[in-house]
Amino acid sequence: MTGLAEKVLALGVAALAQLPQPHEVQASQASADPDSIHVLVNRQNPLQPVDYSPDDLVEVEVRTSAEEPVLLRMEAAESAEELFETAAEEGVTLAATSGYRSFDAQSELYSARYAEHGLEPTDEFAARPGYSEHQTGLALDVISIDNPECILGECFHETPEYEWLETSAQDFGFVIRYPEGAEDITGFAFEPWHLRYVGTETAAEVTEYELTLEEYWRQPAAPEYDSAEPNLR
């Protein structure tokens, strides 16, 4: 474990001590129900069923760089539209790049990389089908559309758009799901562009205490997959 990861974990433990205790009220708890906005999906917790698809997907009416419509579950889509509208009013221009991805779409994406690079390099950069937050319809990837140097998101964390999201995404129920230095908890490298909808109350507490969802919901870290091989079609 790196020194940075140790520091993040230490901060997490300190913040956890400040959270409401089990006998008190906390904004939310982790759910295994894929229809819950608080479903926990990570390398140890695949969706059940693994090919789950939400039944309330709608197109998000925001600026997008994607060729296909960006879909989210209705509640998340409405909040995303409010987020984009407020950001624009405050001089922050975002664009959506990806929302819901089905099991089959994720399988196709993962399989193509797997065939070219093998298991470990693929697991490092792509979620396995059934283990992707995008399959929940609650995850949204964004970019700084007017910053050509960061159009692919590689330096998104250095943009004013990211700075705005750090302090404002919570107001619309979103959190930055994979924060910097938390790879040993989430299993994923820093993804400043990946937003996860959890509702405003949960997002406020997660942001206030600077926690991952695993820490906030007092769930085990998930740096490794629960299965040696991916489930591909």
SS3 sequence of the chain: CCHHHHHHHHHHHHHHHHCCCCCCCCCCCCECCCCCCCECCECCECCCCCCCCCCCEEECCCCECCCCCCEEEHHHHHHHHHHHHHHHHCCCCCEEEECCCCHHHHHHHHHHHHHHHCHHHHHHHCCCCCCCHHHHCCEEEEECCCCHHHCCCCCHHHCHHHHHHHHHHHHHCEEEEECCCCHHHHCCCCEEEEEEECCHHHHHHHHHHCCCHHHHCCCCCCCCCCCCCCCCC
Query: The whole model's pTM is what?
Result: 0.90
Selected catalytic residue, list 133, 183, 191, 215: 191
Work out the burial of residue 90: count CB atoms within 10 Å of its CB; fewer than 13 is exposed, 13-18 middle, 19 or more buried: exposed
Q: pLDDT tens digits for 71-121?
A: 999 999 999 999 999 999 999 999 999 999 999 999 999 999 999 999 999
Q: What is the mean pLDDT of residues 171-189?
A: 96
Tens of pLDDT along 30-75? 999 999 999 999 999 999 999 999 999 999 999 998 889 999 999 9
pLDDT in tens, 189-231: 999 999 999 999 999 999 999 999 999 999 999 999 998 888 8
Q: Residue 9: pLDDT band by 50, 70, 90 thresholds?
A: low
pLDDT at 140 over 60: yes
**Predicted confidence (pLDDT) at residue 5 exceeds the cutoff of 80:** no
Does 191 qualify as catalytic in the annotation?
Answer: yes
Give yes or no for residue 154 having a pLDDT over 80: no
Note the pLDDT of residue 6. 52
Q: At what angle do helices 74-89 and 160-168 cross, to 10 degrees?
A: 120
Average of per-residue pLDDT across 178-198 = 95
Distance CA 213, CA 38 (A): 9
**Considering the domain 3-216 in this protein, what is its CATH number?**
3.30.1380.10
